[in-house]
Chains A and B, each alone.
Chain A
Amino acid sequence: MSKHDSNKRKNYKSIIQDTISKNASRRKTKNNLITVLLFCFVVIAIIPLGSILIEIIKNGVGALSFEFLFEAPGSIGSGGGGIGPAIQGTLLVVAFATLIGAPVGVLAGVYLSEYSDSSRTFAYVLRLFNDVLTGIPSIVIGITGYITLVLTLGSFSILAGAFVLSIIMIPIIARVSEETLKLVPNNLREAAYGLGLPKWKVIYHVVIKGSKSGILTGIVLAISRITGETAPLIMTILGTSLFFSGFNSPVDALPLRIWRLASQPYPSAHEQGWGAALLLILIVLSLSIILRMFAQQRRITFKSTT
């Protein structure tokens, strides 16, 4: 009986081992297959980005020169001159937009994260409108700026451009700020309260400082988003070939310049267009790298004392 039993057990054992090894090999192949498949998808997702970058660098590098960076454009098709006004305009408009948009966006995020408990419906409505604002096509925001600022002031201006771009920035910054502020552990807040700090000091010294890099990421995201905007700028800053000359005259921007250069029949204009595209990418890239360095340098780390 016992012999029979042990035989039986052996049988079962081998059967189980067989199944396991069979299963295991099937799972392994499945696993490998899926890994390869996922890798392929990642490659497919990266291909457009890579090819865009390669294409822009390949075509744009030839256009870059001192003259190209700092001078006003020569007559189109002549290949002379540069895109100085466009670079200056983009930097100015984005800087002004950030000066308006970043404080409003961050403070909105602070409200939603720290103060909204008392009136949940209001906060819900705010969040909803904020999300809707993110989804509004930028050209519509451009038309709003055109009607409210360009028509009332009577001229295209950098202020109108900065205003519409800041409206595009605000919901992005507000959303990201709210999310990162919420990540600050509650016991930090409680500890600060325990030390007798008033609420605003808790928010200012603990909550915001603790989530600074997250907030900066939001601002960087928003800046990268608006730097490439074309449609709302056509409606507000119009574009020009002159350097900045005042707050009530048109200014230029890189996306506008690229669009204009690309629609010309002259090869020299296309080359300048590629150069301008390369510069636009470089500006966005370096802005985000600089801001990230700022964030990293002054990051506060929470040390546990126990």
Chain B
Amino acid sequence: MVNLKNCTILGVSILALSLLIPVYTNSVNAQVTINGAGATFPFPLIDTWRVEYKNVNPDVNINYASIGSGGGIKQFIEKTVDFGATDAPLSASEFEKAGNAVHIPETIGSVVLAYNLPEVTTPLKLTGPVIADIFMGKITKWDDTKIKEINPGVTLPSEDIISVHRSDGSGTSFVFTDYLSKVSPEWHDSIGVGKSVQWPSGIGAPGNEGVAASIQGSPYSIGYVELAYALTTQMTYASIQNKEGNFIAPSFNSTMDAVSSAAGTLPEGSQSWTNVTLTDSSGPNSYPISSLTYLLLYKDLSTNPSVDEQKARSLVDFVEWAITDGQQFSESLGYVPLPQSVVDINEQTLKSLTFKGTPILSNSTS
């Protein structure tokens, strides 16, 4: 068949051509490729590690696909990837299904309330209950007395508030609703916590990008985005009252404080992290809406049949580098570096990892 022959010739030539492309990169057979998948939030950071780790260990290729936290957990449990990544810790049932998973917090995120008030130049202050009321549709005007009370001296416009939330399932929504549930009993009872919840009011937009675009495009709107996003897009954002009553602007330091003050309550890496949340944490300078994001590994890395001993060692070495030296790339990308207390917990976790029963780290370091 001539047409099939044509297609075959064309197909084969395309194959041959495209297989030639890797000639540009020096491919050595001794290289190890580590596959991971999961949360979109830490993707830029992990992607930077992929490139930077090449300088540390040229033989290790890191391959991370951002498919979302839920997907990361699923692929990790199905063992189609070597490590997973997620914004929310494994739930009790997921933890049980995975068998012997460990959580390794690799970076910190915080959620920022960004707003668009053309007339207002002084940074706005908000409290948890007020934010909950805005997103429940109970406070509808910017010059509501509840907002005026905490912002004395600021002339607020008498305009309707447009609240913007995520329309897709998202770890950001999870952290945000988790915070609102803690500070507002009414939110806790009527709406609750989740990656996607029934929003009683406001408009939905997909992704951080969508929310940011909606806020920038519509005056008198307010919404929540990740700190990294707010910083790179130069949005205006509010200071939020923390547990101690101080109004704290989101920043690297205030987020780190929130994590440090909660570090004492964190479990060991191999225990269940289901109930770990950093929102509304104590400490005078803690920003109240922050959360950890995790890498998922098996306690015994041979649990995943596609991981051999060399790969297991490379993977653990990489993670150890990521939580220590790798943290230097955080700030320029808008991520909050891990405080020492969390790094210590991670080091303990990594030391406990084994391959077919034998510890991995002590072998490679000694």
Residues 77-103 of B, flagged 1 when their CB comes within 8 A of A and 0 if not, give 011110000000000000000000000
Task: Identify B2's interface contact among A73, A78, A151, A298, CB under 8 A.
Answer: A298
B-contacting residues, A222-250, CB 8 Å:
234, 238-245, 249-250
Task: Identify B80's interface contact among A156, A260, A265, CB under 8 A.
Answer: A156
A208 interfacial contact with B, CB 8 Å: yes
Chain B residue contacts of A298, Cβ below 8 A: 2
B3 interfacial contact with A, CB 8 Å: yes
Indicate if the CB atoms of B33 and A244 lie closer than 8 Å: no
Count the B residues whose beta carbon is within 8 Å of the partner chain — how many?
Answer: 53
Question: How far does the Cβ of A160 sit from chain B's closest Cβ, in whole Å?
Answer: 10
- B contacts, CB < 8 Å to A: 1-4, 6-8, 10-12, 14-15, 17-19, 21-22, 24-25, 27, 33, 35, 37, 40, 43-44, 47-48, 50-52, 61, 63-67, 78-81, 207-209, 212, 228-229, 232-233, 305-306, 333-334
A196 interfacial contact with B, CB 8 Å: no
Complex Cα distance A290/B333, Å?
Answer: 43
Given contacts A95-B15, A212-B2, A294-B6, contact A242 B61 (CB under 8 A): yes
Indicate if the CB atoms of A95 and B14 lie closer than 8 Å: yes
Given contacts A77-B333, A243-B25, contact A291 B10 (CB under 8 A): yes
Indicate if the CB atoms of A151 and B18 lie closer than 8 Å: no
Describe B's contact surface by its main secondary structure. helix
Question: How far does the Cβ of B48 sit from chain A's closest Cβ, in whole Å?
Answer: 4
Binds B, one of A6-14, A21-29, A84-92, A117-125: A84-92
Indicate if the CB atoms of B209 and A265 lie closer than 8 Å: yes
Complex Cα distance A81/B50, Å?
Answer: 13
Chain B residue contacts of A262, Cβ below 8 A: 209
Given contacts A154-B305, A260-B43, contact A106 B1 (CB under 8 A): yes
A72 interfacial contact with B, CB 8 Å: yes
Binds B, one of A39-47, A49-57, A96-104: A96-104
27 A-B interface contacts by CB (under 8 A): A70-B24, A72-B25, A77-B333, A84-B21, A87-B21, A88-B18, A88-B22, A92-B15, A92-B18, A96-B15, A99-B7, A99-B11, A154-B306, A204-B1, A208-B3, A219-B7, A234-B67, A238-B81, A242-B63, A243-B27, A249-B33, A265-B44, A265-B212, A265-B228, A266-B232, A291-B6, A295-B3
Given contacts A98-B11, A263-B40, contact A245 B80 (CB under 8 A): no
Given contacts A77-B333, A250-B63, contact A155 B208 (CB under 8 A): no
Question: How far does the Cβ of B101 sit from chain A's closest Cβ, in whole Å?
Answer: 18
Chain A residue contacts of B15, Cβ below 8 A: 91-92, 95-96
Indicate if the CB atoms of B35 and A243 lie closer than 8 Å: no
Task: Identify B11's interface contact among A84, A95, A264, CB under 8 A.
Answer: A95
Indicate if the CB atoms of B3 and A75 lie closer than 8 Å: no
Known: A150-B80, A234-B67. 11 other contacts (CB 8 A): A75-B47, A75-B51, A77-B333, A87-B21, A88-B21, A95-B15, A98-B11, A99-B7, A106-B4, A239-B65, A241-B63
Interface core residue of B1, B35, B66, B209 (most chain A CB under 10 Å): B1
A179 interfacial contact with B, CB 8 Å: no
Question: How far does the Cβ of B304 sit from chain A's closest Cβ, in whole Å?
Answer: 9
Indicate if the CB atoms of A76 and B305 lie closer than 8 Å: no
Closest A residue to B40 by CB, please name it. Answer: A263
Complex Cα distance A72/B52, Å?
Answer: 14
Given contacts A216-B3, A265-B229, A266-B232, contact A242 B47 (CB under 8 A): no
Indicate if the CB atoms of B208 and A242 lie closer than 8 Å: no
Indicate if the CB atoms of A74 and B33 lie closer than 8 Å: no
Chain B residue contacts of A156, Cβ below 8 A: 35, 80-81
Chain A residue contacts of B212, Cβ below 8 A: 265
